[in-house]
Amino acid sequence: MVFAPVPLLTVTIEQQNDEAELHVHPGGQGIWQARMCAGLGASVTLCAAVGGEIGKVIASLLGDEHIDVRVVHRSSGSGWYVHDRRDGSRNEIAEYGGAPLGRHDVDELYCTALAAGLRAEVSVFSGVATEGVVDPEVYRRLATDLTTHGGTVVADLSGDDLSAVLAGGLAFLKVSHEELLDAGRAGDDSPEALVGAARKMRDEGAGSVLISRAGESGVALLDGEPFLVELPSLEVVDHRGAGDSMTAGVATVLARGGDLHEAVRTGAAAGAVNVTRHGLGTGRREAIEELSGRVRLTPFHS
């Protein structure tokens, strides 16, 4: 189950030869994670709330994804963004994170996600584009309820949402070093500082932790043991979505009963393949499986 509370409508303008192209897709962290999980062979149920004219478009487009979609129709409008990539970079033209979920919206979405999460081997919690759209307490309550009933929760969150899910308890947390620095959870991006931050988050409620470091080796704390995660080097087309693909790879392996080391290797490979493509949360399964054997987990001794 992928809990993607407020997905976005993404509109991207690109240039191919002399012609401009317009691409319209459902997007947001949870959508990209669900897409990669499905691409890796997982059976995925996506739980999301959509509303307004934009929400109708998102719901329609979600029907083209290879996932089971459980949509709650919210009383307020969904978010969106428009990006121009014709010069090779990503330029934001306009964006809107969406209105905050109302009380009745939250109640309906919570029950939908709880039911799907209780049936799932793994539940993935994804973040939102704009703070305040979803109350962090929703993450804490859902993590608590699913964990209490034997569920495995994987989260990719930051800020107050991260603190909330830690309070609820979870099996696996993926977070970027930038998010830890922004939150004051790490003093710098050195492996020593990040291992220390991972240990603190484990004390707060995370079973294992994976910290991505952009183009550098990641840091993992797996069952209390620290590792450096050395990713395969590939030419970058678009770095966005790599962390979401990493989370999806971890969750998919855990859902099929794989161990933590296999999960991290697959996640790292999925993130590496994603940066070679324009599409977010995409990558061919055979390439990811081949690269996963080239990811090195090196015990770290500070």
What is the rounded distance in angstroms from the CA atom of residue 244 to the CA atom of residue 170? 17
Amino acid 236: pLDDT: 53
Q: Show the tokens assigned to 226.
A: 């620290």
> Can you say whether residue 88 is alpha, beta or left, with left for phi > 0 and alpha for psi between -120 and 50 degrees?
left
CB under 8 Å, gap of 24 or more: what pairs does 234-238 form? 234/272, 234/273, 234/275, 234/276, 235/276, 236/275, 236/276, 237/275, 237/276, 237/277, 237/278, 238/90, 238/275, 238/277, 238/278, 238/280
150, burial (CB in 10 Å: exposed 0-12, middle 13-18, buried 19+)? exposed
Alpha carbon distances (Å) from 259 to 1, 4, 40, 157: 19, 25, 16, 22
Report which of 252, 193, 259 is spatially closest to residue 226, judged by C-alpha positions. 193
What is the rounded distance in angstroms from the CA atom of residue 191 to the CA atom of residue 123? 28
What is the rounded distance in angstroms from the CA atom of residue 34 to the CA atom of residue 20? 29
Strand 8-16 relative to strand 296-299: parallel, antiparallel, unpaired? unpaired
First to last CA, the chain: 37
Tallying the residues shown for the chain, one arrives at: 302
What is the rounded distance in angstroms from the CA atom of residue 54 to the CA atom of residue 239? 27
Q: Which residues contact 40 (CB under 8 A, 6 or more apart)?
A: 248, 249, 252, 266, 270, 285, 288
The answer to whether residues 248 and 124 touch, using CB atoms and an 8 Å cutoff, is yes
Amino acid 214: pLDDT: 75
Amino acid 287: pLDDT: 82
DSSP string spanning 231-270?
PPP---S--TTHHHHHHHHHHHHHHTT--HHHHHHHHHHH
Which one-letter DSSP state was computed for residue 151?
A: -
Each domain of the chain, given as residue ranges in start order, spans 2-299
- The residue behind tokens 């995925």 is 44
3-state secondary structure of 9: strand
65, burial (CB in 10 Å: exposed 0-12, middle 13-18, buried 19+)? middle
What is the rounded distance in angstroms from the CA atom of residue 9 to the CA atom of residue 19? 23
Pick the CATH number of 2-299 from 3.40.50.300, 3.40.1190.20, 3.40.50.11540, 3.40.640.10: 3.40.1190.20
Amino acid 276: pLDDT: 58
Tens-digit pLDDT string for the chain (302 aa): 999 999 999 999 998 888 999 999 999 999 999 999 999 999 999 999 999 999 999 999 999 888 999 999 998 999 999 999 898 788 999 999 999 999 999 999 999 999 999 999 999 999 998 989 999 999 999 999 999 999 999 999 999 999 999 999 999 999 999 999 999 999 999 999 999 999 999 999 999 999 998 778 889 999 999 999 988 776 554 555 577 889 999 999 999 999 999 999 999 988 877 655 545 445 567 788 888 888 899 999 86
- % the chain with pLDDT above 70: 93
What is the rounded distance in angstroms from the CA atom of residue 93 to the CA atom of residue 131? 20
Amino acid 275: pLDDT: 56
